[in-house]
Amino acid sequence: MLLFFTGLLTFLKTTFFMVGYISNNNLFPEPLSAEEEKIYLEKLANGDENARNILIEKNLRLVAHVCKKYNIPNLDQDDLISMGTIGLIKGINSFNLDKGVRLATYVARCIENEILMYLRSTKKLRS
């Protein structure tokens, strides 16, 4: 009986999170325009830590978007967002402006890879 209520609580929490994300545009900051993104990427290449922090903050919406694909029972959506944020930070730290790839494209793969690594590690721990 306790397991049922725990599962129900997790489901409701995930559902409310997703509804809040979809209906409330103020939950995450607005993304940067292409010009602003390029300016901050150039500042980051010159070692500006503030530019790095702004890029991370402005791309948190992308983390939530990627996490929406992984609606797995008994898995806390907040954990996925935390792992996705780690992937975002790693992606921004390793991004190379000279490759000709958009930041969002590159970082989305980094976020997804970090989430998949987390899911694999939790699967190993359960077995």
Structure tokens at 115: 């989430």
% of residues, the chain, pLDDT over 70: 79
Give per-residue pLDDT as tens, 75-103: 888 889 999 999 999 999 999 988 989 99
> Can you give the pLDDT at residue 77?
87
Structure tokens at 102: 């958009």
How far apart CA 24 and CA 63 sit, in angstroms, is: 16
For residues 101, 107, 112, 113, the Cα torsion angle rounded to the nearest 10 degrees is 80
> Can you give the pLDDT at residue 26?
58
> Can you give the pLDDT at residue 2?
46
Give per-residue pLDDT as tens, 5-52: 444 445 445 444 444 444 444 577 898 999 999 999 999 999 999 999
How far apart CA 113 and CA 123 sit, in angstroms, is: 15
Phi-psi map region of 125: left, alpha, beta (phi>0 left; psi -120 to 50 alpha): alpha
Please, what CATH class does the domain formed by 2-126 belong to? Answer: mainly alpha
For the chain, give every domain's residue range: 2-126
Which of 55-59, 71-75, 93-97, 115-119 has the least mean pLDDT? 71-75
